[in-house]
Amino acid sequence: MAQFTREEYEKLTEKYRYLTTVGRDEMAEKLKEARSHGDLSENAEYDEARNDQAKMEAEIQDLEKALEGAEIIDESTLSADAVHLGSVVTLFDIEMAEEVTYKIMGKSDIVNDIISDESPVGIACMGKKVGDTVDVLLPGGKVAPMKIVAIG
């Protein structure tokens, strides 16, 4: 069962609503337009529209799975003493000698510095406290030591 903060759950729900209404309508129009350009067997625009439709439907299914039976956590009951879902954690990457800050949520959004609690950094940090050093297992088996410098 996936856990989300209220904010994250509402964003995912809104995205799901958009894709299943406006997104599907726009996709149907795009397919209709592409079909009007002639022979479908040699119509690259139609093939691209079908691929876009398949990607959108896959995203809708992923959202359905994530939202189905989702547990919404009450952030006000969580302590800032340890990293938990919804925490903003600042880490010092020991090897790179730089600080990075992430919000830990149920689903990643790298553009907005949000990482999943199931990502390597999320897994390593959950339950840890300021001052703890965590070993983040990166793809390829490399371990990156990081120190937790702040939790918000």
Question: Under CATH, what is the fold of the domain 3-73?
Answer: Helix Hairpins (1.10.287)
CA dist 20 and 28 (Å) reads 12
pLDDT digits (tens, 9 = 90+) for 34-91: 888 777 777 788 889 999 999 999 999 999 988 898 888 777 766 678 998 888 999 9
The residues spanned by each domain of the chain are: 3-73, 75-151
Query: pTM of this prediction?
Result: 0.62
Closest CA to 27 of 48, 1, 8, 2: 48
CATH topology identical between 3-73 and 75-151: no
- CATH 3.10.50.30 matches 75-151: yes
pLDDT digits (tens, 9 = 90+) for 103-141: 998 888 888 888 988 899 999 999 999 999 999 988 888
